[in-house]
Every structure is written in structure tokens, then in C-alpha cells.
Chain A
């Protein structure tokens, strides 16, 4: 009862007390505080993903403008759509893989001597299909259409982020032996593969077969990128389960400066087959790449120097053949569209321990990112004591979205 009386007393006294104050000032302060609270609430809502009450921007009605309105927390209105080709069902195409085609035309003049080839050929048409499979893996397929038919150049599943920092691949792949073996035709800095690849590493195809691969970035000091890889492949298309090629690679990369970096690799290959004394094939490789690309003028100037050395031992039923080969190459980009290069090759062959030596001069013109013309003047002194002088002309062009190859 006493409390009620006190409250009634306060209610009667309060208006008089307020009247004693500057009412307008008090109201102004309250409004200011209310506005401040609303602003803070809006910011908290925005950061928590809730709709913000006042939208400071308005959505554009211009069809070439994709506005992000409404603001954070609310589903964004889709931008203008590109036309569907094939009706509403075509919306399912969104899950189709990225598709690209790279065509490589090759013209040749001069007497090839030991390695004959046609004057003109559609050297390769590479069709790439690449997509994310599920939350755990992605897949890449590279189909090669050539004058000898269709072939799966590579087709593999990649688990990009396994526990322990591992990455694994399974499928048909180019082995991580050296640098050139992993390159597709469209990423080679020449129109051909070096003699050492042709003679010691599986010919034009290179070391490429079905297998499993695991790699990991290894801890290293001083900003060095160190990567180790272990791979197992079917031994050069053999049908026997015991014929396996194991490949190991250790790669180190370091930025010497902002513009210059050095890439060193050591590779090892060990192939076993019950038909011949063990091991059937043993390969050792060392490769080095030096790149220079000044960042301010990166689209106009660059230099890449490469070398690769391969020591091979192949046990054959009657004898063991040992062979060595290498190449040294340089490519200098002197304009946005132009680059010039040179390569020196030397490689022994397994068969009769013949030694081939070659040299090439190259000039490349790139009208755009999507096409390239390349000329290569190639002189090869074959072990049979014959010399081939050839002019090779390559035209390369790409359609679609071709994902960057592993580097």
C-alpha cells in the first residue's frame, strides 16, 4: 500500500520536475541516442548476416550492371542471364565440365632422314574436360585426336587436400619425371620434344600410363618450396601385373628476387619386369629452370632457361644398355607478342648406343592469348652419320576455357 502511494506521489511530482528541465533539449538527446542505437543495430545485423534496414544503395536498372542489392544477408538477385541454348533443361549444363579444344597444326619442309613425317599434319587436337567431382575430388580428362586415332592422353582423379597435407591422383597420367615429360604439346616451348625424351623417355608419348601418384609439400627453410612425389605406373603398356615403374621426384623452388626464380628437380625411375635381370629400367634425372620476368613489364619481357639431364640403364634379355642425354634451352620474350629461342640437344640411344645431336632456333608470334604461330629451324646429326635440316611450322589455337596445367 505504501509503495502504491509513493508511486502516485512520484507521478504527480514528475511532470513538475520535468517542466523544470529543458524538455526540448532532452527530447533531442533521446532522438540522437535512438538514431545511434539504430545505426549500431544495423551494423550488428549486417555483420551477423541479417537484413539491414536502410539500404544506402539502389539497384541499377541498367542491364549491363549486376547490382549486389539487396545488401548482405539477403540472397542476391541474379544478374542478366546469357541465353540458354536448348531450353530450360539446359540449366543442368551448369554441372557440365569445362570444355576446351586446342588444335595443333604442323607443317614441315626438308629431309627428315631417320625420323620421317608428312609435310602437313593436324598434329594433335586436344580436348580437355575438367570439373570438380564432389567435395573431395576433381577430375581432368585430356583426349588427344591425332592422325593415328584417338587416345586418352591423361585422365585422372585428384584428391587435392588429403589429411597430412597429401595430394593423390589416380588414373592415366604423365609421370613426374623431369619437366618436359609432364608437359602437353600445347605447353611445350618448341614444336617437338627434345631428343632425350624421344630416345630415353618413352618416345613422343613420354612416360605416361595408368598409375597412382602421391605428393606432399615438405618443410624447408628460407622460403624454399620443396615438394616430394611418389608414383607407380604400369610399365610402358605391359599387360603383366608384375611390370611396374616407380617414379620419385624431389623438387625445390625459390624466388631469388621478385623477378627471378630457380626451380631444381631430381627424378628417379625404377622399372621391374620378371623377363629381364632386375631392374629392367633405371632412370635418373636432373632438371633446372631459371625464370626472369620483371613484374612491371611481365606481359612484354621474360626469359626462361631450361636444362634436363637423364641417365638411363635398360636391362635387355641379352645385354644391359646405358645411355645419357640432355638438352639446354632458352626462350626470350622481346615483345608482347614475340619471343625467340634456341635449344641444343644431345642424346644416346638404347638400341645400338648411337648418339644423336641437334640444335634448333625458334621464333614465336602470339596474336592473342588464344593462338600462336611458331617456326623452328632444326638441324639434327643422327648417330647413323646423316644430317637432317628441317623447317617446322606450327599453328596452335584454343577454344573454350582451358584450365591451367599443373606447373
Chain B
């Protein structure tokens, strides 16, 4: 009888503990990883898009609504990255806490430094353009810090009793990030100024941070698949300018970049734009560890 009572007590304690946690849904695994860093065990975090999936094209499945209808906080990348799928989910979530403008709706692009903001006329002739700026901004650790701070602030507003805890978690994340940045900057320092070609415009924040130079793209325009004429021009340019590295995201078809690499002698590198891009990359630090180690190794090899 005493044993049974203990089990009931344990179950009730666990249930109460789960109820106290802030339920967070993020659109990407990167934001989920940062939310876990600052939220610790006071939050329960679920991501919608997987790290090896193109975040522009996510099927808005009803199963996502099961988490969204209970969410206290929805964190999104913004800048129209999720424009094709997120608002259909929000509209059908039946959750007033995460509706646009509510306290549980957090677009972290407002806290980050955004590149490639359109300054002139914008039309779809330019492909799938993001006029408010490039949405792949989490790929600069400084923006990771800004995102973490914004999340910690919002969590503190939602759960004021835990503000000290979130503050402490953010301070610890900040300290670890500063240490890691020294490591990443040192590893990439010898390769500043290296020129690369990328498949999609996923890397402006990353290349600026580490001093790389993107000279061209495999896509003729953002979101437009490679065409034979553009590919031929690109091959000529890579040969003429002696570019040695082509960066590709894991969700794109490798046939065209592989063919370009074969014909030019450049090396194709599958770089990860997101946490979860491969199984072993499980948090924000491992994302940069993986990419920096991979790139530094390639640059050292292809002088």
C-alpha cells in the first residue's frame, strides 16, 4: 500500500513538474537548440522543421497542431522563411497565446543583425527573394547570442518566477559561446579571404563572420533550380578564377554541384545550415564545430 502511494506521489510530482515547464515550439532545430540552452529543464521544446530539411518548404501537417495547440511560446525565424506554411498552422492551432502579436509569438529576426535587406525595387523576377533580408542569420554566433537573449527575455516575461534561472542560463550560454568563438575564429583565421561558390544564398552571415568571399551561386537566382546555361557560365568562372570550394546544403540535389566539381577540379562540401543536419550535430555549438572543422580541413587541403 505504501509502495503504491509512493508511485502515485511520484506520478503527481512528475505531472506537476511537466505542467510548470514552458511549452515551446520553434520552426527550426537551430532555434530549438538555442531555446534549450537558455530554457534548460524549465522548458519543453519541439521543432517543426528537421535540420536536414529545406525550411522554405515544409508540409504543414495536422500533426504539428498537436504541439502548437498547447504551446506557450512559438519562436520563428521570420523574414518570410516560413511564409508558405507557418501561418496556416498558426491559424488552425486554436491557441490564442501564439497568434501573431500575442505574448507567445516571438519572431527572433527582430533581435538579430540581418544582411541583404532589399534597398531597391523588388520583384519576383529576382527569384524567391526575401525583401526583408536574408533569413539564414542564425549562422553567425553573434546572432546566436542575440537570439538567445531575446528568448531568455521572453521566457522571463512568460514565467517571471524563473527569470533568475533563465538569466543564469543565458549568462552561461554567453560564456560558453565566447570561448567557442575564440576557437572557431582561430581555426578559420588562416583562411580569411578564401573564395567559394555556394548552392543557395544560405551563408551570408557565416561567410561574413569568418571572412570568406562568395563569388557565385549554383542557383541562377534564389529558389530557381540550376539551368544548363548558368551552369556552363559558372564552370567557366570557377576555372578562370581558380575557385576551389563549392558549398552545398544537405537537402539539395548533388548532381549539378558534383558535375561542376568534376569539371573544374573544385571540391564539393556539404555544409550544414542547421542543427540536426547530420545525426551527430545535436546543438548550436556542435553545428559550428562541425562546419568549422570541415571547412578548415578542406581549405588546408585545397590551398
Q: What A residues does B121 contact at CB under 8 A?
A: 83
Annotate B219-246 by CB proximity to A: 1 below 8 A, 0 otherwise: 0000111000000000000000000000
Q: What B residues does A291 contact at CB under 8 A?
A: 59
B6-14, B15-23, B80-88, B182-190: which one contacts chain A? B80-88
Write the chain B residue with the least CB distance to A132: B100
Annotate A249-281 by CB proximity to B: 1 below 8 A, 0 otherwise: 001011100100101000000000000000000
Judging by beta carbons under 8 Å apart, are A65 and B114 in contact?
A: yes
B60's contact among A158, A216, A295, A407, by CB below 8 Å, is which? A407
Write the chain A residue with the least CB distance to B124: A370
- Interface positions of A from 26 to 69, Cβ below 8 Å from B: 43-44, 46-49, 57, 60, 63-69
- Interface positions of A from 324 to 353, Cβ below 8 Å from B: 336-337
B63's contact among A46, A57, A261, by CB below 8 Å, is which? A261
Judging by beta carbons under 8 Å apart, are A404 and B57 in contact?
A: no
Judging by beta carbons under 8 Å apart, are B88 and A406 in contact?
A: yes
Residue A79 at the chain B interface, CB threshold 8 Å: yes
Do A165 and B69 form a contact, CB below 8 Å, given A57-B113, A255-B63, A404-B88?
yes
Interchain CA distance A48-B163 in the complex, whole Å: 8
Residue B156 at the chain A interface, CB threshold 8 Å: yes
Q: What A residues does B167 contact at CB under 8 A?
A: 43-44, 47
Q: What B residues does A162 contact at CB under 8 A?
A: 94
Judging by beta carbons under 8 Å apart, are A336 and B225 in contact?
A: yes
B127-135, B210-218, B287-295: which one contacts chain A? B127-135
Residue A138 at the chain B interface, CB threshold 8 Å: yes
A82's contact among B52, B84, B87, B118, by CB below 8 Å, is which? B118
- Interface size range of chain A in the complex: 35 or more
Judging by beta carbons under 8 Å apart, are A65 and B113 in contact?
A: yes
- Interface size range of chain B in the complex: 35 or more
- The distance from the CB of A247 to the nearest CB of chain B, in whole angstroms, is 18
Residue B110 at the chain A interface, CB threshold 8 Å: yes
B145-153, B191-199, B258-266: which one contacts chain A? B145-153
Residue B91 at the chain A interface, CB threshold 8 Å: yes
B61's contact among A253, A337, A405, by CB below 8 Å, is which? A253
Interchain CA distance A161-B87 in the complex, whole Å: 14
Interchain CA distance A65-B156 in the complex, whole Å: 29
Judging by beta carbons under 8 Å apart, are B111 and A68 in contact?
A: yes
Judging by beta carbons under 8 Å apart, are B65 and A298 in contact?
A: no
Judging by beta carbons under 8 Å apart, are B88 and A407 in contact?
A: yes
Do A296 and B110 form a contact, CB below 8 Å, given A79-B133, A223-B63?
no
Interchain CA distance A253-B92 in the complex, whole Å: 14
Do A255 and B250 form a contact, CB below 8 Å, given A68-B110, A80-B117?
no
Interchain CA distance A216-B95 in the complex, whole Å: 11
Q: What B residues does A82 contact at CB under 8 A?
A: 118, 122, 131
Q: What A residues does B170 contact at CB under 8 A?
A: 43, 47
Judging by beta carbons under 8 Å apart, are A295 and B63 in contact?
A: no
Interchain CA distance A79-B115 in the complex, whole Å: 11
- Interface positions of A from 71 to 121, Cβ below 8 Å from B: 71-72, 76, 79-80, 82-83
Q: What B residues does A300 contact at CB under 8 A?
A: 253
- Interface positions of B from 24 to 59, Cβ below 8 Å from A: 50, 52-54, 57-59
- The distance from the CB of B169 to the nearest CB of chain A, in whole angstroms, is 10
Interchain CA distance A406-B149 in the complex, whole Å: 34
Residue A202 at the chain B interface, CB threshold 8 Å: no
- The distance from the CB of A211 to the nearest CB of chain B, in whole angstroms, is 19
Do A57 and B69 form a contact, CB below 8 Å, given A43-B171, A79-B117, A295-B53?
no
Annotate A388-407 by CB proximity to B: 1 below 8 A, 0 otherwise: 00000000000001011111
Judging by beta carbons under 8 Å apart, are B250 and A296 in contact?
A: yes
- The distance from the CB of A221 to the nearest CB of chain B, in whole angstroms, is 12
Write the chain B residue with the least CB distance to A368: B224
- The distance from the CB of A296 to the nearest CB of chain B, in whole angstroms, is 5
Q: Can you name 16 extra interface pairs (CB under 8 A) apart from A217-B94, A223-B66, A299-B252? A: A47-B152, A65-B113, A65-B114, A66-B114, A79-B133, A80-B118, A160-B93, A225-B65, A254-B63, A298-B57, A299-B57, A368-B127, A406-B91, A407-B60, A407-B62, A407-B88
Spell out B's residues near A (CB within 8 Å): 50, 52-54, 57-63, 65-66, 69, 83-85, 87-88, 90-96, 99-101, 110-119, 121-122, 124, 127-128, 131-133, 142, 146, 149-150, 152-153, 156, 163, 166-167, 170-171, 174, 223-225, 250-253
* 5 CB-based A-B contacts, threshold 8 Å: A64-B115, A165-B94, A167-B94, A217-B94, A299-B252
